[in-house]
């Protein structure tokens, strides 16, 4: 057996305080002669008689070398002009936020089960919930869900709970494909049926098709701006969706600064992805899923809710509430199985929303939309570039060229431009299309350069 | 921070006042700005040309107008109302509140990781893919299982993933079956996840050691049982010594053994789930592998599976080619599908691998050794003062009850609150449910002996106070920013947002 | 953090205990480790081959053995014993405790800045040299003076630099002269710096407005006076309206006018020292230009000079070539020499330029406007409650005295301590020396009105307490981690280090 | 006049809280109708009637673009293998430290004048003082001085104060040239004379020359390891220095982990530069100067001192003490003019010294010395490379080639190596010499590579 002696100084590890002297003292108090004795309840035949076969232990010096070398093998928006979106957007990230997130009081605390020593986290969640309500025009928001895709799953399940009986959910084909796939996974054993509704010529949902299938559906879910970048007309959709619970999905959260709210236009639930609120794209996570619902639905809400109350001295304070919905009380009958959520990202979002505030959120949205419109117009003028969908957009749109999107994008990459996301990866028959996203961070120079490089690439491909 | 004009108030009131912070919405004043953006550099056309008015909103009514100073003050002050691991012991049982190394934070912020986009083509993100591949290799070795999916973003998410795989595998075999067996000591997410995966729950009574009774299990495992979900060691900290036999019983009936790996910290590097006959296990990386809890997340809940479940793993999986390049593989026809958009909580996974590399083989084993030593030290010191409902040997945590204090009408909640006056975060309370008035203490390996001693002395002092000054304990906490809350009122007339 | 067994102690004691932290040396335990280094990868020869034994030490007796957890806990807990700007008003008069923007911290950490070496050849550090050049251009415009040296690392260092230049200039003219005139209201560093530069000090009495008396100055400026060192506005916050005339008097006698720029925050962007006839000025970048005070530093004290002093600037200066490249110029035969190794506090200078760019022309002016508005608002609100020894109009700070409170035997120190109970850092006290029991309040432009109101209400409450419950004020603070200290004992039997 | 109206929303600035509404309310309370009125005491003829002519105001986005572009124009140890030392060394920097320094409680507080609300800073300084004493073998350390060069100035002035009458100070020529230059600047008007003593053949101070000039000197100052990298023999120097106050200068603070202490070998004062304790080289500052003295000298100490005491409840606490030495009390007669010092860097040093601890400090020093010895030996074997000084070294040494150092170093730079610092920049006649520094961070691979590249460069130059 090649197992080290835990009391040897050579066995000490910087992350583990107790060492030789402490261990001997503690064993004496416990009254056993070695740490191994404490593991007697684990049968020998399942005990390892050697160390695991993995690298390490590494010093910070070695870790920095290895991880930085890995990171250096990625090509990112840190060194390229990126026009990638499709559910993950590079917006302005205020310097203050990351530095505050490093405060141990936020970073290393856990779920505020004990409100007297967790008011910081609780009050922030309460504020976060309020921001969500103001942005969506709905009544009650929760403390966070995993991400946009699972938030949609939870919304569908919520709608099914209140619908009683109905088993059909209608989901727009223009909802983020990953979200739709995730819903399929979640509901696969629950006897529910998903009916997809496609888009019309302008890229907006096909209203007639929607009207045709909504009647017996417990819920209708659409995304706006949808996956093609097109902004949906909530009123028209709500009307077509009839009596079903109406779920709006928002994958580009800065759009709330400019677009009509689901709450004021007939929708019951808004779910989505909060990453656009200044969270790094970080290869897809951690992000933060949000859910905001009409007041009538609040007791069916999944996840944590923070409410206001007072302490014994009458002092205002905040606390986790309506917990009877949750797994730790309701167990098999809970409104969701979620426990650990995305609290720290929700905190970052609260910081972002507070710092940008009423006018900043508006300006981010307007600048993103204006710059997208500017680029879209420029690309339109490029010979043999098509914009397949004419519908109104926020900050993202589909571009079509005569050539395979992958090839065109490779050409752009050579000019240090991450030019877009091939639509063909998600929808067969769209191999010449790609999604282009623009934010307030793009400069006119970058937009002009993009247009120039794209038209050059097309001419090159043509030869 | 608002002071008061009343000179007769007590100092405590003054201090308490300085420990309150208004809502950010209450700080809003006309004209204040917390942001600046570069001036718009494209022609400013009318908004109508960009988006029809009916698709636009007007101003975001009631959103804030605050300065950068207002915001940094606000959140700095809020932070001071929290306790944290970096400030002291945070012995929440079952949560493994261990030291969160700062090197993990630094590495996760490397621009190449932080600014990579989840939909970039394979050739642009080889660094990320290799990192994910290495993390899977490492978890495979830790679990002793042949494959691991990194997609789940929390333990409960991993549970759902695991049970969905079980369901799919059984369905492939012709019958998904109806029930999941779950001990009454289990965490609430277990039954919830099983239910969302499409199963009914059958609860297993724990025996007097607090563990699963083999005979009872034998009986409970019928043809329509899909799996047993157990926690190893269980929520009392007791290791199921007969785990191998349990696995055999299940496997003999074609059922699966699911392990909730929330307590992996107690045996990592000492024993491997795969060697115990476990078919599926999730690990909460925010517990055993030190990624910060962040006030309630983010986390990650990778799931390891045995050979027979590999075909059902979520897509994509991360694979390595002969030529040493890496790619995301979607070609798994029997996969349960995608559990989340993109690649899960990538930057939590980065932190976890950073931690695993820092620990290495010897360090991982030492985690379990010291976590168990620390917990047993607390158990030894407090045993005389608090009632131990199950005195079977325990590993990384110890569960006491308030039985010795209830005669004085002092209950677990009171003890927890009083601990705050002594500067400690309370343990997990009233869980597991099989212990009435449970005080579930998990110190983790991080804690220095002097911190454990201070905690034990506080607990002992409270035990005495419970006898000699019970009202002092019942009315605790006395020194926190706020005191006991009216939780009933919060639930009766819920106020869930600020309104002007 | 050590709790106690005594169940009868008060809650306050419990809380206080939890607010103490042992010395890091007291945390040391045999075997603990807080570090790891990569294993030595060169042959491990005997140390004797590397360094003779007589040149080596043995082990570092009594140095610590602590874990990373011990260290992060220790410093996190220590931090909680401090108050800070990010937590609230920090109205230390003369210190300009303004908001420290986090963008400055981010930019200073850019690897290209943080890891550049001070002795790299010019072509490798063009980015740094251009940054320094731009900072000088910006300060020139702010000062209205033709050159600025960035070498001084604090205000006092700048004073020494400035006076050494004056000395050298006069010496070149044949006679360095003997005296520096300094008003009795000046900061202690002024006379100290002048003395270290080789001069004797002649103190100027302030007139009843607290300013310099022209007639008195006229008389004081003899042939052997080298310069007058004044602070503009002075330490009462009063602007020397006759500054131009003062400059003329000095210049007529061939003497120089030195300006201590510590209070530049009150007129930046509103008026320029150069236009006032000032020959030399230092600016504390850690005051006016927002670089963090760091618990007492680092800082930076660039010095601007008029035409006649340029030849004497410290070396090197940073210059720009025709071709747009930058270089360090050592060719200044009459230079006073080097004031410090390398290029001064470069990464403080980076922060300051970051701040200047963030403010811009309009922002810099707004600093002065709001700093002065905030100070005058406090003055207006407190005037009725505290004695105003000089009621001349003031700019960015206001100095009260304890005259109204002394009859009740409540003194400035008591008022300062009592403010802590209300959650505020006290103002500067007992300075300037011309005010007995001075309370010197400088809010800066950063503060929101509600914070100023809370502060004023606390001050007013204390004024009342001083009449109605003077003992409460005299015995303050009551709610801080420690209460009033025995400072006499600290000085009588100094204990300046831990000993085993 | 193109001056903006301060109450206009367009005038608001994110760093300045009060804006339109606040300003109007406050002016009313003060009883004036405009902010301009508050500036009436500034004569109009010195008031600006327009805004300053400088760039800005910039958003964080614009600042990031501009400053990062500047930083990108530097070549640094972040992207090259650096062997630069000469008073600024790249040692291991523990990740925890910078994140803790960002805590506002440390970053944004000021000098702990009010001990009841500054115990964190005060206790840290007390601990820092203790570390200094343990490392130097001396009795009393101060809270920090500007840097190594000014620390030496303060030491010379201290020695002069206690010497009474003597006007001559002897300083080794092998003290860091910048330090020596700074001393000349500081004392230029104080009637003191500096006598320099050169080095012997092995690079150590010329003891005979020292003996010859020490008699009537009030102080003798040497550096060890000296600027040539050579470790001095404290006993021999102390003996040669006779009765003068003996000042040891340490510019490479990690050397305390391995080298004999000045305190135990006859020295009275140790001053130096603490940058090597994990502080980034950051182009020369901020760093931290330290001073440690014999107990007898403590009341002559410049700068802040923190002492232990008790509060009214008898609780242990820390406070600034012996303040009668300082400028704010003693004014023109103070022991120094220093006020703001380098507190935050001293805090970082305390964190570093605590984290590394007894064994880490030793290992850093041993690894640095061993790797330096390894490289030195390898270079010695290279044909036509000379090591002009044979004296014992710690982690730095002088290399001589037949060619101009600048040319050789240019060659190394092409291989992404910052190979050293030309000695000719400091000492005429040494144009072929350069200083090479090694730390624990260098890998054997880098050292071998350095040797290979250097010999290649030499052959190339020969052609
Ligand atoms: C035993 C046990 N199982 C499951 C969970 C759920 O894990 P998570 O919170 O990561 O979803 C937890 C943690 O809360 C737990 O303690
Ligand atoms: C008026 C005045 N002059 C000079 C100084 C000294 O500046 P520093 O502390 O930067 O050396 C200060 C600050 O303490 C000051 O307030």
Q: Rounded mean pLDDT of chain A?
A: 97
C4 pLDDT higher than 90: no
What confidence score (pLDDT) does residue D442 get?
98
Condensed to tens digits (0 to 9), the pLDDT of residues A391-417 reads 999 999 999 999 999 999 999 999 999
Residue C154 CA, closest ligand 2 atom number: 10
CA-nearest residue to A355 within chain D is: D14
The CA–CA distances, whole Å, from C31 to A2, A17, B366, C66 equal 21, 9, 14, 8
From chain A, the residues in CB contact with B274 under 8 A are: none
D224 vs A360: CA distance, rounded Å: 57
Find, among B208, B204, B262, B191, the residue nearest to B233 by Cα.
B262
User: Residue A101 and residue A254: Cα distance in Å, rounded?
Assistant: 21
CATH for D227 = 3.40.640.10
Distance C273 CA to ligand 1 centre (A): 65
- Centre a 10 Å sphere on the Cβ of residue B39 and count the other Cβ atoms it contains: 9
Give the nearest partner residue to B38 out of D17, D22, D61, using CB atoms: D61
What backbone torsions phi and psi does residue C30 show, to the nearest 5 degrees? -55, 130
Minimal-distance CA residue to ligand 2 atom 9:
D340
Cα nearest neighbour of B298 on chain A: A342
Q: Do residues D289 and D364 share a domain?
A: no
Closest CA to D186 of B459, A259, C193: C193
Closest in D61, D92, D103 to A441, CB measured: D61
Interface confidence, given as ipTM, is 0.97
| pLDDT classification of A292: cutoffs 50, 70, 90 | very high
pLDDT tens track for B167-214: 999 999 999 999 999 999 999 999 999 999 999 999 999 999 999 999
pLDDT digits (tens, 9 = 90+) for C417-449: 999 999 999 999 999 999 999 999 999 999 999
Q: Is the CB of C259 under 6 A from ligand 2?
A: no
Residue A221 lies inside a defined structural domain of this protein = yes
Distance in angstroms (rounded) separating the CA atoms of residues C111 and C128: 12
CA atoms of D156 and D149, how far apart (whole Å): 11
Is pLDDT at D11 greater than 70 in this prediction? yes
Cα–Cα distance, D94 to C223 (Å, whole number): 58
* pLDDT computed for residue A164 by the predictor: 81
pLDDT score of A165 more than 60 = yes
* Residue among C31, C36, C102 whose CB faces A99 most closely: C102
Q: In terms of domains, do A168 and A217 share one?
A: yes
Residue A198 lies in a domain: yes
pLDDT value, residue A462 = 86
Question: B284 CB under 6 A from ligand 1?
Answer: yes
Residue D110 CB–ligand 2 contact under 6 Å? no
Distance from CA of C404 to the nearest CA of D (A): 22
Q: What's the pLDDT at C88?
A: 96
Same-domain pairing of D328 and D416: no
pTM of this prediction exceeds 0.80: yes
A62·C31 Cβ contact <8 A? no
Atom of ligand 1 nearest to the CA of A337: 11
- C39–B contact, CB cutoff 8 A: no
Q: How far is CA B138 from CA A14, B158, B357, in A?
A: 21, 18, 9
Domain that holds residue D424: 81-90+357-462
Closest Cα of chain B to A459: distance in Å? 24
Q: Which of D337, D353, D369 is the last residue of a domain?
A: D353
Quick one: pLDDT at residue D463?
Answer: 80
Tell me the pLDDT of chain D averaged across its residues: 97
Do A53 and A187 fall into the same domain? no
Whether the CB-CB separation of D53 and C361 falls below 8 Å is answered with: yes
| pLDDT score for A78 | 86
**What is chain A's length?**
463
Number of structural domains, chain A?
Answer: 3
Same domain, A45 and A113: no
Domain final residue pick, D305, D320, D353: D353
Whole-angstrom distance, CA of residue A14 vs CA of residue C67: 5
Chain B partners of C455 at a C-beta cutoff of 8 Å? 3
| Angle subtended by helix axes C412-421 and B11-18, to nearest 10 | 60
Residue C105 pLDDT > 70 = yes
> Is B5 a residue whose pLDDT tops 50?
no
In the stretch 55-94 of chain D, residues with CB closer than 8 A to chain A read 60-61, 92, 94
Closest Cα in chain B, distance from residue D339 (Å): 27
- Spatial separation of the C-alpha atoms in residues D218 and D158, rounded to whole Å: 10
In a domain, A183, yes or no: yes
**Distance separating alpha carbons of residues D159 and D218, to the nearest angstrom:** 7
CB contact residues (below 8 A), chain C span 259-318, against chain D: 267, 269-272, 275-276, 284, 286, 290, 292-299, 314
Asked whether residue A348 falls in the same domain as residue A207, the answer is yes
Q: Among D16, D59, D60, whose Cβ lies nearest the Cβ of B67?
A: D16
DSSP string of C64-114? ----HHHHHHHHHHHHTTB--GGGS---BTTT------HHHHHHHT-HHHH
Give percent of chain D with pLDDT exceeding 90: 95
DSSP for D362-419, please give it.
HHHHHHHHHHHHHHHHHHHTSTT-B----S-BSSEEEEE-SS-HHHHHHHHHHTTEE-
- The widest CA-to-CA distance across chain A, in whole angstroms, is 84
Determine if ligand 1 sits within 6 Å of the CB of residue B155.
Answer: yes
pLDDT of residue D134: 98
pLDDT digits (tens, 9 = 90+) for A44-91: 999 999 999 999 999 999 999 999 999 999 999 889 999 999 999 999
Instruction: State how far residue B68 is from chain D, nearest Cα, in angstroms.
Output: 5
Q: How large is the average pLDDT for residues B34-52?
A: 97
Q: How many contacts does A have with D, using Cβ atoms within 8 A?
A: 15
Q: Residue D463, Cβ neighbours under 10 Å: how many?
A: 4
Q: Give pLDDT tens digits for D239-257.
A: 999 999 999 999 999 999 9
**Quick check: CB of D339 below 6 Å from ligand 2?**
yes
Task: Note whether residue D71 is domain-resident.
Answer: no
A373 pLDDT above the threshold of 90: yes
Q: Å from B274 to nearest chain A CA?
A: 9
CB contact under 8 A, B99 and C7: no
Q: Residue B1: is its pLDDT beyond 80? A: no
- Distance CA(A388)–CA(A434), nearest Å, equals 10
**D interface mutation test: which of C130, C132, C496, C498 has the most D CBs within 10 A?**
C496
Nearest chain B Cα distance for residue A217, angstroms: 20
**Is the confidence at residue C14, as pLDDT, over 60?**
no
Q: Does D107 lie in the same domain as D86?
A: no
**CB contact (8 A) between residue C73 and residue B67:** no
The Cα B265–Cα B370 span in angstroms is: 10
Nearest residue on chain D to B102, judged by CA atoms? D96
What share of chain A has pLDDT > 70, as a percent? Answer: 100
Residue for token pair 């131009």: C244
Using CB atoms, which chains have 3+ pairs under 8 A with D?
A, B, C
CB contact B72 to C (< 8 Å): yes
Domain shared by A267 and A291, yes or no = yes
Q: Check pocket membership of C163 for ligand 2, CB cut-off 6 A.
A: no
**Nearest CA-CA distance, residue B251 and chain C, Å:** 44
Against chain B, the chains showing at least 3 CB pairs within 8 Å are: A, C, D
Show residues of chain B in contact with D59, CB under 8 Å: 35-38
Choosing from C187, C261, C428 the residue with most ligand 2 atoms within 8 A of its CB, the one to mutate for a pocket test is: C187
Spacing of C-alpha C138 from chain mean position: 21
Q: Within a domain: residue D406? A: yes
The four Cα atoms A76, A81, A84, A87 give a dihedral, to 10 degrees, of: 80
Asked if C452 and C374 count as a contact pair (C-beta separation under 8 A), the reply is yes
Ordered domains of chain C (ranges, CATH) = 11-79 (no CATH), 103-358 (3.40.640.10), 367-487 (3.90.1150.10)
Q: Which positions ≥6 away from B31 have C-beta within 8 Å?
A: B65, D7, D9, D12, D19, D20, D21, D22
Is there a contact between D327 and D338 (Cβ–Cβ < 8 Å)? Answer: yes
pLDDT of residue C8: 41
CA nearest to D89 within chain C: C117
Cα–Cα dist C51/C281, whole Å: 50
Q: Is residue A225 part of a domain?
A: yes
- With CA atoms as reference, report the closest residue to C478 among C488, C487, C469: C469
Average pLDDT (A123-148) is 98
Output the pLDDT for position C19: 62
Q: Decide if D76 is inside a domain.
A: no
- Domain of D404, CATH number, reads 3.90.1150.10
Query: Taken in order D116, D118, D120, D121, is the CA torsion positive or negative?
Result: negative
**In C, which residues are within 8 Å of D58 by CB distance?**
357-358, 360
Residue A73 lies in a domain: no
Q: What is the pLDDT of residue D22?
A: 95
pLDDT digits (tens, 9 = 90+) for B52-65: 999 999 999 999 99
Instruction: Check pocket membership of B374 for ligand 1, CB cut-off 6 A.
Output: no
Q: Which ligand is nearest to the CA of C193?
A: 2
| Closest residue by CA, ligand 1 atom 8 | B155
Q: With a 6 A CB cut-off, is C299 part of the ligand 2 pocket?
A: yes
Q: Mean pLDDT for chain B?
A: 95
- Among all ligands shown, which has an atom nearest to the Cα of C428? 2
At residue D329, the pLDDT reads 84
A152, A8: one domain: no
- Indicate whether D49 and D128 sit together in one domain: no
Would you say the CB of residue C302 lies under 6 angstroms from ligand 2? Answer: no
Asked whether the beta carbons of A228 and A249 are under 8 A apart, the reply is no
CB contact under 8 A, D15 and B103: no
* pLDDT tens digits, D63-80: 999 999 999 999 999 899
- A37 with A133, same domain: the answer is no
3-state secondary structure of D225: coil
| Distance in angstroms (rounded) separating the CA atoms of residues A332 and B352 | 30
Which helix (H) or strand (E) segment holds residue A434: the answer is strand A433-437
Given a cut of 50, whether residue C5 has pLDDT beyond it is: no
* A137 and A157 both lie in a single domain: yes
């Amino acid at each position: 057996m090649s197992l080290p002696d835990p009391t040897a100084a050579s066995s000490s590890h910087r992350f583990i305080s107790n060492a030789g002297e402490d261990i001997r003292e503690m064993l004496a108090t416990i009254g056993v002669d070695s740490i191994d004795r404490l593991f007697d309840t684990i049968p020998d035949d399942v005990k390892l008689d050697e160390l695991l076969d993995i690298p390490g232990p590494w010093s910070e010096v070695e870790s920095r070398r290895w991880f930085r070398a890995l990171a250096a093998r990625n090509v990112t928006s840190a060194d390229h002009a990126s026009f990638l979106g499709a559910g993950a957007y590079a917006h302005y990230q205020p310097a203050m936020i990351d530095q505050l997130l490093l405060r141990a009081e936020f970073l290393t605390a856990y779920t505020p089960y004990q409100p007297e020593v967790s008011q910081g986290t609780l009050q922030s969640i309460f504020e976060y919930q309020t921001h969500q309500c103001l942005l969506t025009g709905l009544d009650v928001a929760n403390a966070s869900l995993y991400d946009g895709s699972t938030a949609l799953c939870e919304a569908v399940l919520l709608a099914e709970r209140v619908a009683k009986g109905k088993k059909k959910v209608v989901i727009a084909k223009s909802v983020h494909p990953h979200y739709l796939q995730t819903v399929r996974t979640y509901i696969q054993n629950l006897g529910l049926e998903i009916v997809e509704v496609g888009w019309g010529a302008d890229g907006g949902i096909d209203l007639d098709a929607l009207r045709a299938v909504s009647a017996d559906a417990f819920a209708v879910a659409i995304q706006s701006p949808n996956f093609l970048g097109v902004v949906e007309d909530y009123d028209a959709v709500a009307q077509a969706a009839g009596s079903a619970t109406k779920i709006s999905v928002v994958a580009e959260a800065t759009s709330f600064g400019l677009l009509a709210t689901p709450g004021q236009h007939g929708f019951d639930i808004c779910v989505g992805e909060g990453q656009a609120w200044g969270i790094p794209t970080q290869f897809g996570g951690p992000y933060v899923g949000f859910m905001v619902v009409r007041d009538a639905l609040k007791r069916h809400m999944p996840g944590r809710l923070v409410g206001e109350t007072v302490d014994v001295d009458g002092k205002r304070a905040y606390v986790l509430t309506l917990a009877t919905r949750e797994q730790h009380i309701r167990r098999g009958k809970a409104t969701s199985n979620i426990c650990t959520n995305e609290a720290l990202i929700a905190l970052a979002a609260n910081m972002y929303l507070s710092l940008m505030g009423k006018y900043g959120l508006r300006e981010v949205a307007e600048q993103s939309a204006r710059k997208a419109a500017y680029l879209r117009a420029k690309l339109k003028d490029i010979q043999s570039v098509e914009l397949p969908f004419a519908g109104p957009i926020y900050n993202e749109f589909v571009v079509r060229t005569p050539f395979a999107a992958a090839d065109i994008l490779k050409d752009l990459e050579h000019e240090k431009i991450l030019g877009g996301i091939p639509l063909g990866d998600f929808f067969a028959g769209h191999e010449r299309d790609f999604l282009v996203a623009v934010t307030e961070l793009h400069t006119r120079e970058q937009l002009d350069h993009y247009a120039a490089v794209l038209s050059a690439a097309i001419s090159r491909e043509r030869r | 921070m608002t002071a008061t004009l009343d000179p007769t108030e007590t100092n405590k009131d003054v201090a308490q006042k300085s420990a309150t912070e208004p809502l950010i919405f209450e700080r809003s004043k006309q004209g204040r700005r917390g942001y600046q953006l570069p001036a718009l550099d494209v022609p400013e056309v009318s908004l109508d040309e960009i988006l029809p008015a009916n698709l636009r909103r007007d101003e975001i009514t009631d959103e804030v107008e605050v300065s950068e100073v207002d915001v940094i003050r606000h959140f700095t002050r809020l932070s001071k109302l929290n306790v944290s691991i970096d400030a002291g012991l945070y012995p929440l049982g079952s949560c493994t509140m261990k030291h969160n190394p700062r090197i993990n934070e630094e590495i996760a912020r490397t621009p190449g990781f932080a600014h990579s986009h989840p939909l970039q083509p394979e050739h642009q993100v080889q660094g990320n893919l290799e990192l994910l591949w290495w993390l899977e290799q490492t978890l495979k070795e830790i679990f002793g299982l042949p494959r691991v999916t990194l997609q789940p973003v929390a333990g409960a998410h991993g549970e759902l993933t695991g049970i969905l795989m079980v369901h799919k595998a059984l369905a492939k075999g012709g019958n998904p079956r109806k029930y999941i067996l779950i001990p009454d000591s289990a965490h609430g997410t277990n039954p919830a996840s099983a239910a969302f995966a499409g199963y009914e729950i059958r609860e297993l009574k724990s025996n007097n050691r607090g563990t699963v009774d083999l005979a009872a299990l034998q009986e409970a495992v019928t043809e329509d049982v899909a799996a047993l979900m157990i926690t190893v060691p269980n929520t009392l900290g007791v290791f199921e010594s007969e785990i191998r036999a349990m696995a055999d019983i299940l496997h003999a009936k074609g059922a699966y053994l699911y392990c909730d790996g929330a307590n992996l910290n107690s045996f990592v590097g000492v024993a491997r789930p795969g060697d115990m006959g476990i078919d599926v296990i999730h690990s909460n990386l925010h517990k055993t592998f030190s990624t910060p809890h962040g006030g309630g997340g983010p986390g990650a809940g990778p799931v390891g599976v045995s050979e027979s479940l590999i075909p059902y793993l979520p897509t994509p999986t991360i694979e390595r080619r002969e030529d040493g390049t890496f790619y995301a593989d979607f070609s798994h026809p029997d996969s349960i599908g995608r559990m989340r958009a993109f690649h899960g909580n990538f930057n939590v996974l980065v932190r976890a691998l950073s931690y695993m590399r820092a620990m290495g083989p010897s360090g991982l084993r030492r985690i379990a050794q010291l976590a168990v030593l620390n917990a047993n030290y607390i158990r030894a010191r407090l045993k005389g003062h608090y009632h131990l409902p199950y005195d079977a040997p325990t590993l990384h945590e110890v569960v006491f009850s308030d039985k010795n204090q209830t005669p004085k009408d002092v209950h677990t909640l009171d003890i927890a609150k009083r601990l705050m006056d002594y500067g400690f975060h309370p343990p997990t309370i009233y869980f597991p449910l099989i212990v009435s008035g449970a005080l579930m203490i998990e110190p983790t390996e991080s804690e220095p002996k002097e911190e454990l001693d201070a905690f034990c002395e506080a607990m002992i002092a409270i035990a005495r106070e419970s006898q000699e000054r019970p009202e002092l304990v019942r009315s605790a906490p006395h020194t926190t920013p706020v005191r006991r809350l009216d939780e009933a009122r919060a639930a009766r007339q819920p106020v869930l947002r600020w309104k002007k």
